[in-house]
Amino acid sequence: PGLVDRYRVTRCRHEVEQGCAVLRATPLADMTPQLLLEVSQGLSRNLKFLTDACALASDKSRDRFSREQFKLGVKCMSTSASALLACVREVKVAPSELARSRCALFSGPLVQAVSALVGFATEPQFLGRAAAVSAEGKAVQTAILGGAMSVVSACVLLTQCLRDLAQHPDGGAKMSDHRERLRNSACAVSEGCTLLSQALRERSSPRTLPPVNSNSVN
């Protein structure tokens, strides 16, 4: 392993971007205390992980520039985060369009600071060597990813059906079609969960591989 876990820091960056997008896109009337609390907690959690990960990488790095750059990147991120979270607190205490627009304004520097820090942290010299995966391991990975994608795609279809039903609450000629799609989507979600469970349990998938314990038929 290298100094930095690329996948975890990249996920943190993505979640920070999502949190800031919520602050930019949410109307003032929908900025409830619960929403602001959830966004603030999500930002704080991800920023703490990035801070800890980069501090550890700085301590272990042998290059003087890299050590200092990690520290400066964390400092820049922390300053931007403090400015944004102060705006979030202001919206909670004294809601106004001005306070909401400040959240949108100060979310930009935080996204940029996090993007720069993660971009630096995921340079090749900090990541170490990639693991060598055997053919069997790749087959297991394919089975698990296949099951996971089955769940995700089915959930997307289910969400679309629910959205269509919510947009047409009075029924109409298409109501029976919506209900049929909803039933089919729910069945697809169940099937996807079954596939994923089997892939995790047996390290195989009926869609991609024969079960591990099956006997070959010549």
pLDDT, tens digit, 9 for 90 and up, residues 152-178: 988 998 888 888 777 776 666 677 777
What is the pLDDT at residue 95? 95
pLDDT at position 141: 82
**Under a CB-based contact definition with an 8 Å cutoff, are residues 201 and 211 in contact?**
no
Residue 171 has what pLDDT?
A: 60
CB 4 within 8 A of CB 121: yes
State the helix-helix crossing angle for 33-60 and 6-25, rounded to 10 degrees. 150
Residue type at 76 in one-letter notation: C
**Given this model, what pLDDT does residue 21 score?**
96
pLDDT in tens, 102-129: 999 999 999 999 999 999 999 888 876 6
What is the model's pLDDT at position 29? Answer: 93
Please work out, in degrees rounded to the nearest 5, the angle formed at the alpha carbon of residue 168 by the alpha carbons of 164 and 171.
Answer: 120
**Element of type H or E holding 188:** helix 175-202
Torsional sign, CA 37, 41, 47, 48? positive
pLDDT score of 185:
87
| Residues in CB range of 209: below 8 A, 6 or more apart | 139, 142, 143
Per-residue pLDDT 10s for the chain (218 aa) are: 678 888 899 999 999 999 999 999 999 999 999 999 999 999 999 999 999 999 998 998 888 999 999 999 999 999 999 999 999 999 999 999 999 999 999 999 999 999 999 999 998 888 766 667 788 888 888 888 888 888 898 899 888 888 877 777 666 667 777 778 888 888 988 888 888 888 888 765 555 444 444 444 43
How far is CA 168 from its chain centroid? Answer: 31
Under a CB-based contact definition with an 8 Å cutoff, are residues 128 and 1 in contact?
yes
**Confidence at residue 214, expressed as pLDDT on a 0 to 100 scale:** 42
What's residue 78's pLDDT? 96
Q: Whose structure tokens read 């603030």?
A: 40
Q: Is the CB of residue 126 less than 8 Å from the CB of residue 62?
A: no
pLDDT, position 127:
76
Write down the pLDDT at residue 1: 61
CA distance 105 to 126: 32
Kindly report whether the global pTM for this prediction surpasses the value 0.85: no
The half-sphere exposure of 197 on its side-chain side, counting CA atoms within 13 A, is: 6
